[in-house]
Amino acid sequence: MKIVIDAEKCEGHSRCYSLAPDLVDVDDLGNALVLGDGTVPEGLEDKARLIVDNCPEYAITIEED
């Protein structure tokens, strides 16, 4: 499972970072960035789904392996 962020859709609400700082980071403007290559570590799949569901801009998606 991988997290993918569409930088053009992200408006910097930082909800994803608030919910899962172990999966994403934010830049100085609050725009989300995946950590590493976006691979979700084992045990954090629910957090990944949570940030997808809570992104108001639908900028985060999950790619299944």
In the chain, domain spans? 2-63
User: Percent of the chain at pLDDT above 90?
Assistant: 97
CB burial class (10 A; 0-12, 13-18, 19+) of residue 40? buried
Q: Is the pLDDT of residue 65 over 90?
A: no
Pick the CATH number of 2-63 from 3.40.50.20, 3.30.70.20, 1.20.1250.20, 3.50.50.60: 3.30.70.20
* pTM exceeding the 0.85 threshold for the entire prediction: yes
Q: Kindly report the length of the chain.
A: 65
Q: Is the pLDDT of residue 64 over 90?
A: yes
Rounded mean pLDDT of 37-52?
98
Rounded mean pLDDT of 16-40?
96
Rounded mean pLDDT of 18-40?
96
Rounded mean pLDDT of 17-27?
97
